[in-house]
Amino acid sequence: MYIPKCNCTKNNPERSEPEKFFVHFFSKKWAGLRGSSPLVGFLRATALKLGDDVVDKWKAKLKNKLKSAWKYIETFVKWVMIGSFTGEIGGLVGTLFSTTLQHANHISQSISYLIFFMPLGGIVICGLYKMCELETDPGTNIILESVRTKKHIPWIIAPLIFFSTAMTHLLGGSAGREGAALQLGGSLGYVVGRVTRLDEKDMHLSVMCGMSGLFSALFGTPVTACVFAIEVISVGVSYYSALVPCLISAVVSYGVALSFGVTPMHFDITQHIPQVDFISLSQVIVLSGLCAIVSIVFCILMHKTPKLMKKFLKNDYLRAFAGGMIIIVLTLLVNCRDYNGAGSEIIAKALNGEVKTEAFLLKMIFTAVTIGCGYKGGEIVPTLFIGSTFGCMMGNLLGLSPVFGAGIGMICLFCGVVNCPFASLMLSVELFGSQGVILFATGCVVSYMLSGYYGLYSSQKILYSKLKAEFININAK
């Protein structure tokens, strides 16, 4: 029987190479068949149809895969560029801010009578915020809320918090710098997002990108800055989509700060870290549990003091003036300047085993009065001060090395007030190295659980219970 040759590829020049291959393959396969012409024609037509379907499906799948791959590549490149840009600006701003605060604290310690101008400085700070229509200053809370909502971050927050924090440190107020860093970084990230015309969801990532960049520049802890930015917003849910931009921003900002001579925080306590055994674990568990209690007291004090001051002194200017006067009186009573400013020198002394028994309690009072009366700054460095001094004292009583106790106290108190166990663990590694990671991890989880639902930031959402696998969605107390 004569079987005509298939001229499909010649008669259809528009066919692609894969189609020609399938047509040629199936034509040759069926060409050897013996039977009636109608049957062979039917089989040929079926083979050609199957070949076309397979080619179309393969083309569709390949097209979808390429689209998906391109989307990942495009998003990755976008966030590398935005993260790098934000990190460079954050590194410059963070370096300037860190240098300004260092000089402010040095001048404050050198010229002791500057503290008598603190009430006047409080009035100036209060007037600036009123002038910018930010009488009810939301502080760091507005940054955290902007990541979860459509809340707008006023650009004026950045220069305001920069100037007011520097003035607070210069005049002897007890405050830190991370609150200002988060506000500076958050507003910077928001501006970058507006300039690059990001959509609402990407704008949230840009804010977190700015937060991690400034935090990293100030503390010299890029991994902690990245993890903290994605963990602090909502406890129980981490924004993993922000990992790439936050880490890139933090690393770039860290590099910029290093190039300008900003010294990262690091302490060598390796020789004082005990072996991991039942006794050392028990001592760490007890100390971290006590740190959780101190963290609760500190959070309550930080939230109740401004409410108490507003109850008795409703006028903002009068409240700021009174707060300055209280700090002056307290400083004269203790007859030293240990509790004014950030207190980095006292942290270093505690990590050398030197501590005053009452230091942690006095720092809590000084900080609560300063922030509660309208002065600006952060609470994290005071937290590290309180944790290191308390840990140094209690660690010695529990049989631990006071140096190691100070390190555990720092990390556990930080964990208790911010509810960020993973960021706290990363902080321990970047500050002290990885040798005692098991003991620090134990302290973090104990402090996290026993600190309850208290926290420094009232807008922080705690989505999941610390006691069971249960969705609770409450704000930190």
Domain ranges of the chain: 8-67, 80-259, 270-475
- Cα(280)–Cα(109) distance, rounded to whole angstroms? 39
- Cα(258)–Cα(224) distance, rounded to whole angstroms? 16
User: pLDDT tier at 146 (50, 70, 90 boundaries)?
Assistant: confident
- Cα(476)–Cα(459) distance, rounded to whole angstroms? 7
pLDDT for res 333: 95
Report the share of the chain in percent with pLDDT over 70. 87
111-115-117 Cα angle (round to 5): 110
Taking the CA atoms of 307, 461, 180 and 291 in sequence, report the sign of the dihedral they define. positive
pLDDT for res 227: 94
Token pair belonging to 190 = 């928001």
pLDDT for res 49: 59
Mean pLDDT of the chain: 86
User: pLDDT tier at 37 (50, 70, 90 boundaries)?
Assistant: low
User: pLDDT tier at 40 (50, 70, 90 boundaries)?
Assistant: low
For residue range 107-137, list pLDDT tens digits in order: 998 898 999 999 999 999 999 988 887 767 6
User: pLDDT tier at 445 (50, 70, 90 boundaries)?
Assistant: very high
- Which is nearest to 164 in space by CA: 8, 320, 289, 292? 320
pLDDT for res 65: 80
Is the pLDDT assigned to residue 411 strictly greater than 90? yes
For residue range 67-77, list pLDDT tens digits in order: 888 888 989 99
**Least confident range of 2-6, 10-14, 319-323, 411-415:** 2-6
Is the pLDDT assigned to residue 53 strictly greater than 90? no
CATH class of 80-259: mainly alpha
Is the pLDDT assigned to residue 18 strictly greater than 70? no
Q: What CATH fold (topology level) applies to the domain 270-475?
A: Clc chloride channel (1.10.3080)
pTM of the complete model: 0.85
User: pLDDT tier at 457 (50, 70, 90 boundaries)?
Assistant: confident
- Cα(345)–Cα(349) distance, rounded to whole angstroms? 6
Strand 461-464 with 234-235, pairing: parallel
Is the pLDDT assigned to residue 90 strictly greater than 60? yes
- Which is nearest to 88 in space by CA: 210, 225, 218? 210
Is the pLDDT assigned to residue 275 strictly greater than 80? yes
CB count within 10 Å of CB 322 equals: 19
For residue range 158-210, list pLDDT tens digits in order: 888 899 999 999 999 999 887 778 888 888 888 888 888 888 888 889 999 99
- Mean pLDDT in residue range 323-336: 95
CB count within 10 Å of CB 138 equals: 17
The domains spanning 80-259 and 270-475 adopt the same CATH topology: yes
- Cα(419)–Cα(423) distance, rounded to whole angstroms? 9
- Which is nearest to 453 in space by CA: 463, 444, 441, 443? 463
